Structure 1
Amino acid sequence: MNELDKMLLNRLQAGIELVPNPFQVLAEQLEIDESTVIERVKALKGDPIRQISAIFDTRTLGYKSSLVAAKIPEERLDEAAAMINDHPGVTHNYKRNHAFNLWFTIAVPPNSRIGLERTVELLGELAQVESIRLMPTLKLFKIGVQLDMTGKEDGTKAKAKPTYNEEDRQKADKVLTEFDIAVIRELQRDLPITSRPFAESAARLGIQEEELLEAGRKMIERKQMRRFSAVLNHRKAGFRFNGMGVWAVPEDQVDLIGQQMASFKAVSHCYLRPTYSDWPYNIFTMVHGRSLEECENILQAIEDETKVTNRITLYSTKEYKKTRLQYFTPEMDQWEEKRLKLNGSHI
């Protein structure tokens, strides 16, 4: 991977413009020709670029979602993870170094007949977990992964204003038309690496290319779409470690401390979550690093700045699933229909 590739990856993560020729725009920014950009992006697809598509905000599209922690006997962990992964709303699933050793994210659509809480209970029953616990977002301080591929940034010092937070989520227009849903289904597809990559989607919808792009731009304005960008395979991009730093922050300081933690550019996710009698940690921060030491240095820098010392770090030791959530697809209905038939009135 050369310096051009690294600059391209940084720009693709930040977002590409919803215009007919987005790779031409990228080429102009980098002062090279479009054919070179297309050639390099094609070469980077799959390794390390996982996908280039719209990144929607789950909650503003009417979905209910949560982080979930489960406690499972070690000898059954792989089997249990596979059963949980079968749910199409499970997008991330990791083994982590804690008594609660399986952590996954799940979302269910607005028309779910089972609902989020009962779905998680069912998954717990299917996987035969010892314990399962919902940890929903109570407040979003920051969401948005952007890995520095150039290696020029110091993760312990680099700061950046969150590109999407609770204020954006609260402002979001949560009304969706049938046309909006059709656009969402198209823009969540992996983008073809061609000079006019949106033309195919517009044709499938039977509309003009500019009509599709304008609909996408309006979704960004309405805070329904966070950005249109590349998502990287972290491990193949060199970021082999991800640490979930969880902090016990005094209740009267959560807003201030949450914003401080979110200001670190190396923090990709920062949330306020509920506490339990055996779980005092209410602010969750996710950091990614090329080494465990890099992650620890970032978390230590956060600790030094905020003076919050009551924390633990949960590292992922195995990745069971990592994908983008597909919105308004039949797979979710099919999973629920199967469960309803099997469980009947017990749902």
Structure 2
Amino acid sequence: MNAAEILQELVAIPTPSAASNLPLINWVVSFLQTRGWQASLFSYTDENGVDKANLIARPSATSPQSAIDLAFICHTDTVPFAQSWTEALQLRADGQYLHGCGACDVKGSLACFLAAIDSISTRQTHPDIALILTADEEIGCKGMDRLLAQTDLRIRSAIVSEPTSLHPGIAGKGYGLARITVHGAEAHSAFPAEGSSAIAAAAELIVRIQQLETIRQQMLDTLFDPPRTTINIGTIHGGTAKNIVAGECSFLVEWRPTPNDPPQAVLQALKSLAASIETANSRICIYIEPLRAEPGFSPSASGPLWQRLEALAPRDATGISFGSEATRIAQIAQEVIVIGPGDMHTAHSDRECVPVVELDEWTAILRSLICRAES
């Protein structure tokens, strides 16, 4: 089977993070077993009572306990798709592109790996490779966190599958998230002096938060676009009525720090800004609830994987501004590269697609990486 044929099967299996990924895992296990591979499942039930599993697959002649020279990592979940996207689970060809939910993020990458396995014999397959599939990546890499806690993975080089148009992602931004709640004092809007608007204080704080991006320009890293730590106010809620001075306002702030900008640094800056507003208005109280603060990963020394990719797919290296499991894998592997067919700009929408030419190219590259050196 080629990658497009396999991708059609994978897209047809719905795997939003809220649903079980077991139907897709079982499909992959069946595919691999008929091609001389063994699979170990690490099952769990998520906080909503949904059964899920992570998977580590190796060639059958390889001991499951042996170190992994090269790991191919794919998450199995997708973001939910809109009901208006009626063809989300039907892979559709449109010119040189294949459209469908998960086509590039990241079922296309998985399809390429399986197609590469299908095209060579077990005798040709390098024994020290592995396929690692995870659940719940789209909601905070929870599946990978569970897998690392359950196992003693030893990985020399790792490919983390994400759509990069086959540019090797050699560094990645981190991720921070906090909920900020501003407490003021309610009053009738006809007598505003009797209250203190939480919305007005939140607005002042938000303006100062947005200015942090400019303040942190000294952390520039040209591998990324944009080349700095970015900050975003994603949601905001506040007030009870149009004629009431708001007593409470809350909002979510997220930041994506460059590898040389510790994620806790932005959190500390948020606390300082909040304290200055509280000092200026004794009736305002601001509570900051940290939700996530994860570092990025910096380029490792040019290792064997990067050298081979430079020869097989000569494209400029880049930095990854979106979240990925590479931040976790970088803590245990000697070398991590994020790469895959497709463009993240189309993912998470009904525009999601993957170029056929990139599927074919990535399949050929994976075949070269998977084969024994002497074959």
The structure with more helix, counted as a fraction of residues = 1
Q: Which TM-score bucket, shorter chain as reference?
A: under 0.3
Q: TM-score, normalised by structure 1?
A: 0.23
Tell which structure's C-alpha radius of gyration is larger: 2
Q: TM-score, normalised by structure 2?
A: 0.22
